[in-house]
Structure 1
Amino acid sequence: MFGGGGGLDPRKMEQMMKQMGIDVEELDAEEVVIRTADHDLVFTSPDVTKMDARGQETYQIIGSPEQRERADDETDADAASAIPDADVEIVADRTGASEEDARAALETNDGDLAGAVADLE
């Protein structure tokens, strides 16, 4: 693509990417988890690079993952804890709905407070 010798000077490469509207940022990640239906791939202390090309973000993860099996109840616990209790209280107070109904409306609306309130009013 770039032709020429054995490689480009990293500064020139960065300058060329900026001219093309591509921003690259190194992230100081402690851990990255990729969840599949059957297991998790856990990268501990990975090298993570975020590339933003005109609003399209791409992440590159470099490291060796550890494969961990997923427990069925772990999935349910993650879903329940995804909605903060404070958000449930806000929706319940605003609409007069029970906390169970407020949580269900928030889950249906992916945590969107306004959407949950609109559904319950």
Structure 2
Amino acid sequence: MFGGGGGLNPRKMQQMMKQMGIDIEEIDAEEIVIRTGDEELVFDDAEVQRMDAQGQATYTITGEPETRSADDEAIPLGEGDDDAESGTDRIPDSDVDIVAQRTDASPEEAREALDAEDGDLAAAVSRLE
């Protein structure tokens, strides 16, 4: 269809793309993480390209990811401490105040509800209503 030679010359291809306003940049990424509701796809040794065309950026990741369950995520502040207070450090006091005000609960009850609901304000309010 395009004639012999087995494909376009890479330099010619880049010239054509530049004329069309398409710019491709290689990104030196150390790690790429894609999180879904159930799992994480972790690319440790991936090739990443960013293509800008008509004001829209598109990223291409080439490589084989390691799959981890969402439960394997790092714990933000408690870092796995076994004491009962370890999870409370990651719940902001402002969130505790909001839940307590909305439900007329004590700050301690509000914090317990937030801990039980992994910091989800709406779920904590529903839990106390």
**What TM-score results when the alignment is normalised by the length of structure 1?**
0.58
Percent of aligned positions that are identical: 60
| SS of corresponding position for 1:64 | coil
Q: For structure 1, which runs of at least 5 residues remain unmatched after alignment?
A: 78-97, 105-121
Q: Give the whole-Å Cα distance in 2 for the aligned partners of 1:61 and 1:37.
A: 20
- 2:2 corresponds to which letter in structure 1? G
Q: Give the whole-Å Cα distance in 2 for the aligned partners of 1:12 and 1:99.
A: 59
Which residue pairs with 2:106 in the alignment?
none
1:100 aligns with 2:94: yes
Which residue pairs with 1:7 in the alignment?
7
1:42 aligns with 2:36: no
CA RMSD of aligned residues (A): 2.8
Which residue pairs with 2:71 in the alignment?
71
- 1:56 corresponds to which letter in structure 2? Q
- 1:50 corresponds to which letter in structure 2? R
Length, aligned pairs only: 81
Q: Give the whole-Å Cα distance in 2 for the aligned partners of 1:29 and 1:54.
A: 24
Instruction: Give runs of ≥4 in structure 1 deviating > 3 Å.
Output: 74-77
Q: Give the whole-Å Cα distance in 2 for the aligned partners of 1:37 and 1:43.
A: 18
Give the CA deviation at 1:3: 2.0
Give the CA deviation at 1:71: 1.6
**What TM-score results when the alignment is normalised by the length of structure 2?**
0.55
Q: Show CA shifts across 1:70-117 (max 9, x none).
A: 128x4994xxxxxxxxxxxxxxxxxxxx9616xx8xxxxxxxxxxxxx
Q: Give the whole-Å Cα distance in 1 for the aligned partners of 2:32 and 2:47.
A: 10
| SS of corresponding position for 1:60 | strand
Give the CA deviation at 1:42: 0.4
Which residue pairs with 2:102 in the alignment?
none
Q: Show CA shifts across 1:32-75 (max 9, x none).
A: 11111100000112000110001111111010000001128x49
Which residue pairs with 2:30 in the alignment?
30
Q: For structure 2, which runs of at least 5 residues remain unmatched after alignment?
A: 77-91, 99-129
Which residue pairs with 1:86 in the alignment?
none
Structure 1 residues 99 and 55: CA distance shift in structure 2, 3 A: farther
- Structure richer in helix, relative to its length: 1
Which residue pairs with 1:60 in the alignment?
60
